[in-house]
C-alpha cells in the first residue's frame, strides 16, 4: 500500500525526490503519512480535494484486499 501511494504522489509531483511516505500501525489500522514539497501540495490534493479522495479510495481498496483498514494523511 505504501508503494502505491508513493508511486501516485511521485507521478504527480514536480519534485518527486521530496515525496516521503511513512507507514505506522495504530489500533489495528495502517496510517500512511504523505509528505510533499510545499509547491506540490496543491497538485497532490487537487481541486476540491478530488485527487486526495481518489488516492484514499485506491488505498481503501488495497487495504480491503489485504484484510486491513488504512488511512491517508497528507502533511
pLDDT, tens digit, 9 for 90 and up, residues 60-70 = 999 999 999 99
Q: Please report the pLDDT score of residue 72 as a whole number.
A: 97
pLDDT, tens digit, 9 for 90 and up, residues 35-50 = 999 999 999 999 999 9
Do 56 and 8 meet the contact criterion of CB atoms below 8 Å apart? no
Query: What is the percentage of the chain residues whose pLDDT exceeds 70?
Result: 100
How does the average pLDDT of the chain come out, rounded? Answer: 95
Q: Please report the pLDDT score of residue 5 as a whole number.
A: 97
The C-alpha atoms of residue 13 and residue 41 are separated, in whole angstroms, by 8
Three-state SS at 22: strand
Q: Please give the average per-residue pLDDT across 10-19, as a whole number.
A: 96
Can you tell me which residue has the cell 486491513? Answer: 68
User: So what CATH class is 2-74?
Assistant: alpha beta
Amino acid at each position: 500500500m505504501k508503494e502505491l501511494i508513493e508511486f501516485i504522489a511521485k507521478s504527480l509531483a514536480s519534485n518527486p525526490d521530496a515525496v516521503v511516505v511513512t507507514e505506522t500501525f495504530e489500533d489495528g489500522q495502517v496510517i500512511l503519512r504523505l509528505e510533499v514539497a510545499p509547491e506540490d501540495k496543491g497538485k497532490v490534493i487537487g481541486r476540491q480535494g478530488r485527487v486526495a479522495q481518489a488516492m484514499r479510495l485506491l488505498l481503501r481498496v488495497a487495504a480491503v484486499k489485504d484484510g486491513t483498514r488504512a488511512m491517508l494523511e497528507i502533511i
